[in-house]
Amino acid sequence: MGMRALSWDRRGGERMASWWKRRDRDASATVQRREARLDQPVALERLLEPLPEAAELRPRLSAALFVRAWDAGTQCDYWVQSDGTRVVCFALSGLTLQQAAAVRVRWDAKHSTAQLSEDALADVVAKLVGAPVTLVGGE
């Protein structure tokens, strides 16, 4: 599905060793995790608000889904996973488009969507950028 400032795809792979620091103020890359249930409209709206073309994504969340969207305006890569009841969104910021694409390629080669977590994404990002990654808690 082609869209203007973003791309969507569905893939995954395996888990890698951890190399990241929590709350490192000097880290340039961040991974933020947010979660909402579909039956919590206020929390779901907050989760979807920053996503590009969220209105197109919303009806697809009632089924199992894994999509990724690059927002060129904010230079943020969003990874969204739904099991039809609960939606989890990971926002990867502080990366260039090329770095975000490389994270996707490395993830797809070694991980599965079942293993999608802040720690696993931070591992991939930290190894790519060669620096610690800040994990930002969400709701």
Residues 89, 60: Cα–Cα separation, whole Å: 14
Residues 23, 120: Cα–Cα separation, whole Å: 16
Number of other residues whose CB lies within 10 A of the CB of residue 1:
10
Share of the chain above pLDDT 70, in %: 78
Share of the chain above pLDDT 90, in %: 67
Residues 93, 77: Cα–Cα separation, whole Å: 7
Confidence of residue 138 (pLDDT cuts 50, 70, 90): low
Residues paired with 90 in a beta bridge: 33, 79
Residue-level pLDDT at 139 = 55
Tokens coding 36:
């909402």
Ranking 15-19, 37-41, 101-105, 119-123 by mean pLDDT, the lowest is 15-19
